[in-house]
């Protein structure tokens, strides 16, 4: 069930191309978390550490971005550092932005939605990120719903994350995913993780305790022709989780500041994450780094398990010929 790479649409890094040709496990990684989610130079340090975590798990990392108008899966060290140095100056690219950036020949840091698109075009089935976007608080009036959710409904990539970002409305986010038919699997948990907290208080219908179980769900979904993604919700390690009351106070303060300053749209999430980090004395950033690395390690395990299923299916098919 491996997707075929579209060489005309995506420029593949050397390691990624070799891994695709050899049908080795690959994990896609986003670039918005580098440019808009963390400050320089910690953003690049974290990105390199995450890539190392994926390699240590037996998979090939494919950090994704738009580089000079080219969709790129597998950034070089120089390209990764360039994205990190540009920071918020580089465009934040979601689905709607891709054709504009490509046509203009400029760069963009890919969100969860855009990373899923490029990963699918490249033939990559597993993607690790921090937290997905979702339904924002007060969306009943603002209609602020992340494009990540719609992408999960249409693009067949498994997204390993620590749930949805803590600035969001968790019940409405899960309701939206259910309506769109997106499976949300708790990895070794029955509860939906709350990004920097392990438990949002919301129960999940599906749980997997091993990466091989997740791989089987992926295979079953796509073999049946059920297009769309899968959310693999992986709780932040307990040692790095933040206390709920302090985090909620920081989030409410940041939201109030955003309303006062008229910050909305694409600028809202980066502003809120930066303010929450400042209000928690830098603790949220440290926790964010650890949860991303934790997700990358799980994603590598899932990618390895899924690739092994491909190999077994091909072996059985060869015997029947």
User: Is 231 in contact with 182 (CB distance < 8 Å)?
Assistant: yes
Backbone angles phi, psi at 154, to 5 degrees: -120, -20
The single residue of 72, 92, 165, 221 carrying the catalytic annotation is 165
249: CB partners within 8 A, 6+ apart? 279
Q: How far is 17 from 37, CA to CA, in rounded Å? A: 28
Which letter, b or e, does each residue of 265-293 get, where b requires 16 or more Cβ atoms within 10 Å of its Cβ? ebebbbbbbbbbbebbeebbbbbbbbbbb
H helices within 57-201, ranges in order? 77-86, 98-104, 112-122, 139-142, 147-154, 170-179
* 30 noted as active-site residue: yes
In DSSP terms, 245 is beta-bridged to: none
Residue-by-residue DSSP string for 204-234: PSEEESSHHHHHHHHHHHHHTT--S-EEEE-
79: CB partners within 8 A, 6+ apart? 65, 67, 72
Q: How far is 257 from 290, CA to CA, in rounded Å? A: 27
* 178 noted as active-site residue: no
Residue 260: CB atoms within 10 Å: 8
- Picking from 103, 222, 105, 82, the residue whose alpha carbon sits closest to that of residue 157 is 222
The single residue of 30, 51, 81, 151 carrying the catalytic annotation is 30
Say how many CA atoms lie within 13 Å of 154 toward its Cβ.
9
What Rg value do the Cα atoms of the chain yield, rounded? Answer: 18
- Picking from 53, 112, 107, the residue whose alpha carbon sits closest to that of residue 85 is 107
Residue with tokens 């719903």: 145
* Residues with a known catalytic role: 30, 165
């Amino acid at each position: 069930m491996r997707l075929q790479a579209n060489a005309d649409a995506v420029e593949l890094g050397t390691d990624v191309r070799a891994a695709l040709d050899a049908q080795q496990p690959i994990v896609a990684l986003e670039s918005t978390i580098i440019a808009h989610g963390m400050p320089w130079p910690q953003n690049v340090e974290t990105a390199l550490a995450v890539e190392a975590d994926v390699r240590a798990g037996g998979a090939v990392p494919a950090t994704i971005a738009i580089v000079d108008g080219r969709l790129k899966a597998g950034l070089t060290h120089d390209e990764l550092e360039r994205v990190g140095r540009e920071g918020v100056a580089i465009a934040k690219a979601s689905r709607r932005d891709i054709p504009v950036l490509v046509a203009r020949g400029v760069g963009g840091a890919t969100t969860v939605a855009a990373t899923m698109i490029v990963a699918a075009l490249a033939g990559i089935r597993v993607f690790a990120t921090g937290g997905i976007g979702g339904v924002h608080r007060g969306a009943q009036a603002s209609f602020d719903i992340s494009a990540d959710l719609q992408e999960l409904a249409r693009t067949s990539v498994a997204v390993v994350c620590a749930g949805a970002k803590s600035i969001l409305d968790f019940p409405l986010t899960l309701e939206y995913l259910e309506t769109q038919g997106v499976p949300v699997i708790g990895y070794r948990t029955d509860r939906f993780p709350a990004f920097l907290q392990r438990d949002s208080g919301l129960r999940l219908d599906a749980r997997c305790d091993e990466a091989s179980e997740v791989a089987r769900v992926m295979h079953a979904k796509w073999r049946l022709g059920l297009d769309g993604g899968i959310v693999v919700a992986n709780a932040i390690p307990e040692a790095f989780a933040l206390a709920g009351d302090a985090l909620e106070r920081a989030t409410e303060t940041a939201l109030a500041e955003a309303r006062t300053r008229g910050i909305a749209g694409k600028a809202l999430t980066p502003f809120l994450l930066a303010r929450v980090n400042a209000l928690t004395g830098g603790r949220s950033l440290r926790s964010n780094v650890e949860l991303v690395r934790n997700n990358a390690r799980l994603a590598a395990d899932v990618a390895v398990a899924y690739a092994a299923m491909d190999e077994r299916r091909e072996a059985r098919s060869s015997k029947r010929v």
